Amino acid sequence: MSNVEWLTARPIAHRGLHDLNRTRWENTLSAFQAAVDAGHSIECDVHLSSDGVPMVFHDHALRRLTGQDGTIAAKTAAELGALKVGETDDHVPTLQEMLRLVGGRAALVIELKASEGHDAALVERVAEALKSYSGRVALMSFEHRLVRQLAELAPDLPRGLTAEGRSAASMEAHFSMLAHEISFVSYAVSDLPNPFVSFVRERLSMPVITWTVRDREAVTRTFAYADQMTYEGFSP
């Protein structure tokens, strides 16, 4: 497993340092630059375009963030790059654009978004994009099959499980992923504490980050039961 001590060193700006999509929108180059300027780490989301290019975007559908109909998987990288996010000058960026902007100045935590029927090459394409990147970066996903692919296709990169829930079924599913040599866990702050997070921190000395911290109560909960926060909507 990879050394990820750096993962918990600084607060992690959720989808970059945006202002809740008022003037600086999530997962844009402006939000990533703001996080760099603040000295914080960056969390972002990646899907594949229809022509197999990793794009930094959270939703499957385009409507909330671009005002356009359709899905990210149905458009080419060029078509997506021509779309404005909100009514700003920011466009939907490729992963490569984001990597060039950050250039190792901030640690990156990249979540791979599952998209049934459209993500078969996602791990491979993201791994390719990161081969020449020298900055600190970790990959994670909710989707267990993508985490398993990370172990095969990007074995040298830190990989994590994004997770939530407190039920027995959730705990069983999460514990099963320890067989795939994950390096860290990103857990829903509202579902702390729980036996899985306690086990990985106390027995495995594995770092745990939380999502998504939006108030002081969640900050307190994070540092009672985890190691660092993924935050938005306030200044840590």
Give the dihedral of Cα atoms 171, 173, 176, 177; nearest 10 deg: -100
Nearest to 71 by CA among 55, 86, 87, 94: 55
Kindly report the pTM of this predicted structure: 0.97
Tokens of 66: 């671009």
Domains of the chain, first to last: 5-167 (3.20.20.190)
Tokens of 218: 């969640």
Tokens of 27: 């997962």
pLDDT, tens digit (0-9, with 9 covering 90-100), for 177-187: 999 999 999 99
Tokens of 98: 């984001």
Q: Which residues are catalytic?
A: 14, 58
Could you give the percent of the chain with pLDDT greater than 90? 96
Average pLDDT over residues 198-210: 98
pLDDT at 96: 98
Task: Give the chain's radius of gyration (CA, Å).
Answer: 17
Neighbours of 215 (CB within 10 A): 12
Question: Which residues face 94 on adjacent strands?
Answer: 55
Asked whether 168 and 183 are in contact (CB, 8 A), the reply is no
Average pLDDT over residues 63-70: 97
Integer CA distances (angstroms), 74 to 59, 64, 119, in order: 13, 16, 12
1 — pLDDT class (breaks 50, 70, 90): very low
pLDDT at 3: 81
Average pLDDT over residues 106-121: 94
117 — pLDDT class (breaks 50, 70, 90): confident
Residues belonging to the chain? 236
Could you give the percent of the chain with pLDDT greater than 70? 99
| pLDDT of 176 strictly over 90 | yes
2 — pLDDT class (breaks 50, 70, 90): low
Pairing of strands 41-48, 108-112: parallel
pLDDT at 118: 85
Average pLDDT over residues 183-193: 98
Give the dihedral of Cα atoms 71, 73, 76, 81; nearest 10 deg: 60
CA distance 176 to 74: 33
75 — pLDDT class (breaks 50, 70, 90): very high
Mean pLDDT of all residues in the chain? 97
Neighbours of 185 (CB within 10 A): 25
